[in-house]
Amino acid sequence: MQRYSAVFSFAFMLMVSTAASALLVPAAHAASNEELFNDARIAYKNRDDLSLERDLQQMQAQDYLLAPYADYWLMLLRLNQSDSQTVRTFLAQYADMPFADRVRGEWLKGLAKRQEWATFFDELPALKRDDAGVSCYALEGRAIRGDSDALAEGRTLWMSTAEQPANCLALYDRMQKNGALSNDLIWEKFRLLLADNKVSPAKLVAQRISTMDAAALKLLDKTYQNPQQALEKKTLSLKTRYGRELNLYALDRLARTQPLYALDMWQKLQASFEPAEQDYFWSRLALPAALSFYDRVPSAALDKEQMAWKARAALRVSDWSRLLNTIAEMPATQQQEAAWRYWKGRALKEQKQIPAANALLVPLSRERSYYGLLAEDELGDVLSAVPASYRPTSAEVEAVSAVPGIQRAMELQRYDMRWESRTEWAAATTGFDDKQMIAAAELAARQEGYDLAIITADKTTSTHDFSLRYPTPYREIVRGFAKEQGLDEAWIYGLTRQESRFMHYAKSGVGASGLMQVMPATAKWIAKRMGLDNYQNTMIHQLDTNVQLGTYYMRYTLDLMGGQSLMATAAYNAGPGRARRWMADQPLEGAIYAETIPFSETRNYVQKVMGNAYYYAHRLGTKILSLKQRLGTVGGGGGVMTTEEAEN
């Protein structure tokens, strides 16, 4: 008994001694929410679910607002091992979170892989987003369960040229085996893919043709690599469907860069093609092309985009009657687009049909857009001021800042999780009225989230805050380089807003970087011209260096384009050579030049930049010009002139 008492006494003394020592040693460092969240991101990336679970538990204990994202990542890692009730509980718990629908989509795919069709179809109606993988599984599942219409409905998915997940191939195999995927549909998709220059997917589609072999597929590679040589050496047969499709592809590729040569070759080969194939190529050759090309193509053979180019061809030569007729041939929904409402109004005005013109232009002029500004010009109110802006109260901003989704969005922005931040922001602001939108934009601007501020302020319909739609951050830097280069500050801001929404760390898919989205190779070339001997590629992300390089290039393109900011804007986006090639032989109204830019990306870019510049001039108090004056007149024969010069 004494032995046990001695042991107990020793243990008790050790415990007391340890406790006393603990008072003298600082407590272990408690991880912050930021550390836990970053660690959770790493754990998710490494598929370490145990570490992720520990991080989640600590964030939940501290009631961290981004803890649901760690729970979301953990669910994705364990989704295939989770039973249906566990997943349903998770989805119910986070029903209002943007990521819930992604979890539902991934769960549905797992159910389909395991052939759990009853649960799959029970849950499918709750999926909100479009997911090609789920759609393909749904059609395949319906077919397996005996739905005779499912495979026929799969033709819509088949005709899409967008990249699709691998499980769609099983659906298409089933469709082909059951006759729902005919050879005509296979050829049709083959042609669509080639029109988009998607050669690898086109080869996969072509392999569904029973007569296709490796040698035939190599001909496609040769046609892609050198279409002119393929045509001149006559290596492409005109006696087979495949050979004719390759000839059409080669001619189409040549038409993008050598339209006259392509036309000459086509006229030699045309008789070897079937009538429908001839109609197809004429429509491709005429996109964009001279108006005379469209005389050879029946309007019924033209799709929506080709109808737009037929109208632009009439516009290019100021054939207002032909323009009106072409707009009338467009689908009703296309006629209601702002572009065609404006140009129809212009055409009516040119034909002295003023009441009919005003019936279109007056309502359009109330829309705060590029075409709305042009419509306002036509009505004569060319120098009207921007409407007064609504300024949110502190209480309104505080009310918005208390919305959980807004809080999560701002916190995610801090971690540079831009996609997740925007998704949260969009979900949180859904249903906001104009004043709430403006308050949310103000909150974003205060946090220097200028992209969110602009996107949100742009959504208002009747009450606006133009200071949030057209913010002027980094004013001292921009003003300094504008003065150094002798540039219109409103134009610089208009271009920068379109390039990066003032997010100086922005990087495009093609590598353009920084506030003014300068390409690395262009930046290096500019730096050499400027004599910046110490320039390094990393400097492109420095705010002042980026603006210095961007404004220098703006000045350079402006000088190349004879001082015409419209063409210089096109040159900044697509290169000076293209901007010049898009000119006409005769002087061209700036709005017509912009409307007939062949690249839709550049066309939209130019229109938005010039519209932005109009609004920024009002904001900055610089020289006020109407949009039409800003667009000017593009001179023919290689020269350019301003509107004022054209009128004198």
Q: What amino acid positions are annotated as catalytic residues?
A: 499
Q: Residues 79, 103: contact at Cβ < 8 Å?
A: yes
Torsion of CA 287, 292, 294, 297, to 10 degrees: -130
Cα angle 490, 494, 500; round to 5: 140
CA distance 567 to 570: 5
Beta bridge partners of 518: 513
Phi, psi for 432 (deg, rounded to 5): -65, 145
- 536: which 2 tokens? 């390094």
- 194: which 2 tokens? 């080639």
Q: Residues 635, 590: contact at Cβ < 8 Å?
A: no
Q: Residues 607, 342: contact at Cβ < 8 Å?
A: no
- 549: which 2 tokens? 């390089």
Q: Would you give the distance in Å from CA 217 to the centre of its chain?
A: 33
- What Rg value do the Cα atoms of the chain yield, rounded? 31
CA distance 153 to 351: 47
- 149: which 2 tokens? 């219409």
CA distance readout (Å), 391 to 388, 410, 467: 10, 21, 9
- 243: which 2 tokens? 């050979």
Report which secondary-structure segment, H or E, holds 588: strand 588-589
CA distance 354 to 583: 30
Of 82, 84, 59, give the one whose Cα is nearest residue 71: 59
CA distance 526 to 520: 10
DSSP reduced 3-state for 633: strand
Residue 613: half-sphere exposure toward Cβ, Cα within 13 Å: 24
Buried b (16+ CB within 10 A) or exposed e, 558-581: bebbbebbbbbbbbbbbebeebbe
DSSP reduced 3-state for 481: helix
Q: Residues 310, 294: contact at Cβ < 8 Å?
A: yes
Rounded to the nearest 10 degrees, the angle between the axes of helix 214-225 and helix 199-206 is 160
Q: Other CB atoms closer than 10 Å to residue 117's CB: what's the count?
A: 18
CA distance 554 to 125: 51
- 434: which 2 tokens? 């104009």
